[in-house]
Amino acid sequence: MQTVWQRDNVIALTQIFEHSLRHWTGRTLLPGVVPPAKLAKAVFHAPFVLVAHGTEADPVLQYGNRTALALWEMSWEELTQTPSRLTAEAPNREERARLLAAVTAKGFIDDYSGIRISKSGQRFRILQATVWNLLSSDGNLCGQAAKFDHWEML
């Protein structure tokens, strides 16, 4: 049985994360040039959080690395069936929607902070997140990703 990061679609997604982040910010997920499968493994096991959703009308999470799965207290299967709006409490969803609209318009934002909620109801504040648009190989918008390595439990 393949682990999550060994799946072809996850390796391809990781490449989209990397190329899109570099396009918008000039930065990379990890230092140096890393072959696709090794990048997918390293990002999945990284100490930072990386999550992404697609472009559906009510976007569903399509990726969460091991740190994200632990923080949101979900399995891969649970996370990748969760509408991303449900990662924020109802009162914080309007603020989250404004954030995503700003990212859509500008391509990315740095230094985002906001409150999120795990499956068990544990609240936490994201600090200094980068949120960026994901671009397919032909340059079309195919989702949005967020990366952060600072959070505090509330």
On whether residue 121 sits in a domain, the answer given is yes
On whether residue 18 sits in a domain, the answer given is no
- Residue 140: domain span: 48-153
The predicted structure's pLDDT at residue 112:
87
Q: Which residues of 28-67 are buried (b: 16+ CB within 10 A; e: fewer)?
A: ebeeeebeeeebbbebbebebbbbbbeeeeebbbbbbbbb
Over the chain (154 residues), the average pLDDT of each successive run of 10 is: 89 97 95 90 97 94 98 97 87 71 85 90 95 94 96 96
On whether residue 120 sits in a domain, the answer given is yes
Q: Is 7 helix (H, G, I), strand (E, B) or coil?
A: coil
CA angle 129, 130, 136 (to 5 degrees): 145
On whether residue 24 sits in a domain, the answer given is no
The predicted structure's pLDDT at residue 91:
62
Confirm if 54 and 138 have CB atoms less than 8 A apart.
no
On whether residue 70 sits in a domain, the answer given is yes
Structural domain total, the chain: 1
The reported pTM is 0.91
CA distance 33 to 43: 13
On whether residue 59 sits in a domain, the answer given is yes
On whether residue 106 sits in a domain, the answer given is yes
Instruction: CATH number of the domain at 97, please.
Output: 3.30.450.20
The predicted structure's pLDDT at residue 92:
65
Supply the Cα-derived Rg of the chain in whole angstroms. Answer: 14
Closest CA to 52 of 26, 25, 27, 87: 87
Confirm if 66 and 94 have CB atoms less than 8 A apart.
no
Confirm if 119 and 153 have CB atoms less than 8 A apart.
no
DSSP string, 68-99: HHHHHT--HHHHTTSBGGGGS-GGGHHHHHHH
On whether residue 7 sits in a domain, the answer given is no
